[in-house]
A and B are shown apart, each in its own frame.
Chain A
Amino acid sequence: MREPTPEQIRDERVYRSLGLTDAEYELVVEKLGRLPNYVEAGIFGVLWSEHCSYKSSKVHLRRFPTSGPQVLQGPGENAGVVDIGDGMAVAFKMESHNHPSAVEPYQGAATGVGGILRDIFTMGARPVAFLDSLRFGPLDDGRTRYLFSEVVAGIGGYGNCVGIPTVGGEVQFSPTYRGNPLVNAMCVGILPADGIVRGTATGVGNPVFVVGARTGRDGIHGATFASAEDPEEKERSAVQVGDPFLGKLLMEACLELIASGAVVGIQDMGAAGLTSSSAEMASRAGGGLEMILDRVPVREEGMTPYEMMLSESQERMLVVLERGREHVAFAIFQRYGLEVADIGRVTDDGRLRLIWHGEVVADMPVAALVDEAPVYERPIALPSEPERVDIPASLPAREAWLAVLSHPSVADKRFVYRQYDTMVRAQTVMGPGSDAALVKVPGMDKAIAMATDGNSRYVALNPRRGGQIAVAEAVRNLATAGAKPLAITNCLNFGNPEKPEIMRQLSDAIDGMAEACKALDTPVVSGNVSLYNESRGVDIQPTPVVGAIGVIDGIAKRLQSAPTRERAAAGLDLWLLGREDDSLEGTLYGELVCGRPVGDAPYIDLAEERRLHDLLQAIAGTRAAAAAHDVTEGGVAAAVAEMMIQCGAGGEIDIPAGMSQLGWLFSEAQGRAVVAVLPEGAEDLARLAAAFAVPLRKLGRLVASEKVAVRQAGDMVVEIPLAALRDAYEHAIPMALRAGTAGASA
């Protein structure tokens, strides 16, 4: 195959197939001062893609707060880093792998996990935990069951093998994701606060290495493909296969290399492999790179420079070493049986120059590739008013309670997380099944708290408030476990940014998230944007997913999301912290009754939210508190039921007089939590709640009984065996999967 000439690229508009618009191509010609050849046009195409350049979202992302005393590294590096005290820090980031997972769910999810893993150890951090945030269509469809089963298997397949526990995450099911599932993976690592390594190619003359796996023809065009329209229509052989075994060796080798002190800069090869890693490393250093492509270890014969530069072969890194210390890398990588090749030099001329067979095959200004990539202020539609609807009370309390608990978004996710090794490394203090996961810092009485959240129903109904809630929910989970929230990462999964209404969602959601981050003192330190999530022209509901990180000093202070069986059986009082609310707007109840999201997003007040978080941390230190669980999807009814199911105790609940029964049970108003407290702790609790100005109301009690009763002013509202609630909650997902086959790829 002959590559098209520069003139052909121009005249036959070949650049369009490389992802450049006519205007963008003109800009390339202008920046270059000549016509780009095929390699150059391909490189511009991927680097200026939505995926690599954030061209549609960049102007909006600037509104996120990104600094604070706890922030050691904000956005712009491979991962963000925050200080957790005592000389230690945490690196973390979340990334999407939506489109690859829609095409080949096992490998798509697995390579997503592998990619985010490399982002973390690149920072010099030892990866200690994964979380995964997943979205699928309803399980009544064979293709969805296949996608769901395979994505979960793929996440486990990679994470379990590399020996990093998957300790949390979420799965939600909604018709909006039928044609476009979401797979977001987060990785968390620990490092000394003064040990951050960056992806910078500095020091003129320093050697540049490719390490890890050989380069093959995998996933060429993957990056442009990741932001292109419909996954169904795309070229289908671009599947990349992950090799977790190699990934594990690469991680160990890189951490050893970093510990040797010989590393100047290091960056993983994610989307657009060698192209984006080299250009970004040079750009951060404000310098240039020269690479001799003949030296890149390849897996297949006859690979062209174009293919080498655009290959997305997994498990590779680009490393700049201190000159004279090359032997360190050779010794380490050879011991692990990994490829290591010296492929070029750091220069100071600000250009990315590629040499092949003794000829310069590409020569471009780094600034044009990265810093001066186009940025779009895409048109934004006018804000729309949330619709006003009356949500009919057509589903009675008892049926609604069962329906909510058996909705796969709320129901028990054990089917998912028992396929993950949640305990490897033997530091998992609280794993899946709790509001936040806690992973111990080895050798210290300190744990990192983490959680992910993001409810797209709220964002669809009211993007700004939905954005606030996404952050508030994730962060609240940390506080509920007794941890101090520190910062967040995020993945913004949205539809087609060329539609003004989608840009409105994106812009407003970012505003809401930014407001919540400020109020909760959790700056954004890393993140990822995934646009063009649409199928057959229909966009997904806007889905910002937030990954929050906190710290708890003293693991004895942690709060479980349910009390132990023994403590519950001895009798505990249940208290509601936060606002009493009986609105059904934006609730799962509303969606169940109306068949779609209805009303406005639920209530949230960021100042109240903050006070609740502070109160929860204070409560966690007291002896009387036996458990805390925040109120989210499914409202107080779901929160209380989950606590009862977990601890195996029934109990009694009282609805305050004057409140709508359904509203009070199923409202999803934010800023609330349920706590289980020893009866003698009531006074202390009241004092603390008053001190933090958080409303407090006695909800009822847990008792050693198989019965659950809800009353209002003495009248029975619902009386139900605990076993009925448990069955609804625990069997929903396994039953939905059993209903059909999950083994079919079609």
Chain B
Amino acid sequence: MKWAVVVFPGSNCDEDAAQAVRETTGDVVDLVWHDATDLSEYDAIILPGGFSYGDYLRSGAIARFSPAVEAVRREAGAGKLVLGICNGFQVLTESHLLPGALLRNNHLQFRCEMVELVVDNNTSPFTRAYQLGERIQIPIAHGEGRFHADPETVEDLRKRGRIAFRYAHSPNGSVADIAGILGEGGNVLGLMPHPERAIVDWMGSVDGRRLFQSMHQYVEEGLADARANA
């Protein structure tokens, strides 16, 4: 399979994400500049962390208008996997590919530390390698990660199993301790924590590996099925 990592002006976890994919899956990864208009050759697309356009105005507010985000919208509609990490999650909510918004942390500070997450869904293409209810260690690094949505939306997310990860102890005041949510079709995941920073021993946790491996496995199975049917 082939991955794209979209690079916006101000992205800064693009290389980290690409490196994590290579390390955990051995797949090919391209870094794609935000003016790309066609991403159809990729099986999975990552919107990486960072400060696209300086996070001025609102995080993700300006990046959302990039041609690449239009292309992502198309591929998401076609069922491709889209993973938004941190700033990528913010871009996804700003562009309404995911519901809600990410607001300033309730304590007003940027916060970078290892946090404990609870896996709330282990049937999605992103989470199938985890156990339901499993506690995993993944670092966060954000100033605007407080997930907000109106109560009906949150209830709907909960009912449909679209909350992928919750914080064991919320570091930012997110409603329902939400750390990551799935899009309606289950093929888009936005999450504030950084799985690409939990890949090898010396990082302090390797719990992020299985997220990329889940995606790899899901896509490879689909590709194998497609070949078998052809």
Contacts and interface: CB of A to CB of B under 8 A. Distances in A.
B197 interface: yes
A424 B110 contact: no
Contacts of B12: 161-163, 248, 424-425
Interface string A407-448: 000000000011111111110110000000000100000000
Given A161-B51, A423-B141, A245 B110 contact: no
Interface size class of B (residues with CB under 8 A): 20 to 34
A555 B111 CA distance: 27
A336 B8 CA distance: 10
Nearest to A163: B12
A423 B110 contact: no
Nearest to B49: A424
Contacts of A421: 110, 112, 141
Interface in A135-157: 153, 156-157
Interface in A207-257: 243-246, 248-249
Interface stretch (B15-23, B68-76, B150-158, B181-189): B15-23
B194 interface: yes
B113 interface: yes
A419 B113 CA distance: 9
Contacts of A426: 13, 15-16, 19-20, 196-197, 199, 203
B197 A423 contact: yes
A391 B49 CA distance: 54
Interface in A93-144: none
Interface in B110-126: 110-113
A422 to B, nearest CB: 6
A337 B54 CA distance: 14
B50 interface: yes
Given A153-B109, A419-B109, A337 B194 contact: no
Interface string B94-120: 000000000000000111110000000
A160 interface: yes
Given A421-B141, A423-B112, A243 B16 contact: no
- B55, B109, B113, B202: which has the most chain A beta carbons within 10 Å? B202
Contacts of A422: 112
A336 B203 contact: no
Interface in B135-155: 139, 141, 143
Task: Identify which of B12, B53, B112 gathers the most chain A CB atoms within 10 Å of its CB.
Answer: B112
A245 B12 CA distance: 11
Contacts of B51: 160-161, 163, 244-245, 248
A119 B111 CA distance: 27
A421 B112 CA distance: 5
Contacts of B20: 426
B19 A244 contact: no
B79 interface: no
B26 interface: no
Contacts of B202: 429, 440, 555
Contacts of A156: 110
A424 B13 contact: yes
A443 to B, nearest CB: 10
Contacts of A161: 10, 12, 51, 54-55
A418 B112 CA distance: 5
Contacts of B56: 245
A337 B35 CA distance: 13
Interface in A155-169: 156-157, 160-163
Nearest to A443: B19
A424 B141 contact: yes
B17 to A, nearest CB: 9
Contact of A245 (B9, B16, B196, B199): B9
Among A160, A245, A419, A423, chain B packs the most CB atoms within 10 A around the CB of A423
Contacts of B203: 423, 426, 428
Given A163-B12, A555-B202, A245 B54 contact: yes
B16 A337 contact: no
Given A426-B16, A426-B199, A555-B202, A248 B112 contact: no
Interface string B32-50: 0000000000000000011
A22 B37 CA distance: 64
A601 B45 CA distance: 59
Contacts of B141: 160, 421, 423-424
Contacts of A423: 112, 139, 141, 194, 197, 203
Contacts of A153: 109-110
Nearest to A246: B54
Nearest to B19: A426
A418 B13 contact: no
Contact of B9 (A337, A418, A440): A337
Nearest to A247: B54
Contacts of B196: 426
Given A423-B197, A426-B199, A163 B13 contact: yes
A38 B112 CA distance: 50
Given A161-B55, A245-B51, A426-B196, A419 B9 contact: no
B110 A419 contact: yes
Contact of B10 (A245, A417, A428, A440): A245
A285 B15 CA distance: 37
Contacts of B49: 424
Interface string A395-408: 00000000000000
Contacts of B16: 424-426
Interface in A716-741: none
A555 B54 CA distance: 34
A162 B112 CA distance: 15
Contacts of A429: 202
Contacts of A160: 51, 110, 112, 141, 143
Interface centre among A157, A243, A421, A428 (most CB of B within 10 A): A421
Nearest to A417: B112
B112 A419 contact: yes
A243 B54 contact: yes
A156 B108 CA distance: 13
A418 B113 contact: yes
B194 A249 contact: no
A669 B42 CA distance: 61
Contact of A420 (B9, B54, B112, B139): B112
B34 to A, nearest CB: 11
Contacts of A417: 112
Contacts of B111: 418-419
A706 B165 CA distance: 34
Contacts of A418: 109, 111-113
B197 to A, nearest CB: 5
B53 A245 contact: yes
A643 B41 CA distance: 52
Nearest to B51: A161
Nearest to B53: A245
Contacts of A425: 12, 15-16
A134 B153 CA distance: 45
Nearest to B11: A163
A337 B9 CA distance: 9
A691 B109 CA distance: 50
Interface string A523-555: 000000000000000000000000000000001
B175 to A, nearest CB: 22
- 6 closest A-B pairs by CB: A163-B12, A245-B54, A426-B16, A161-B51, A421-B141, A429-B202
22 contacts: A161-B10, A163-B11, A244-B51, A245-B53, A245-B56, A246-B54, A248-B51, A418-B112, A418-B113, A419-B109, A419-B110, A419-B111, A421-B112, A423-B139, A423-B194, A424-B141, A425-B16, A426-B13, A426-B16, A426-B20, A426-B197, A440-B202
Given A162-B12, A419-B109, A426-B197, 13 more contacts: A161-B55, A163-B13, A243-B54, A245-B10, A245-B55, A245-B56, A248-B12, A249-B9, A423-B112, A425-B15, A426-B16, A426-B196, A426-B203
Interface of B: 9-13, 15-16, 19-20, 49-51, 53-56, 109-113, 139, 141, 143, 194, 196-197, 199, 202-203
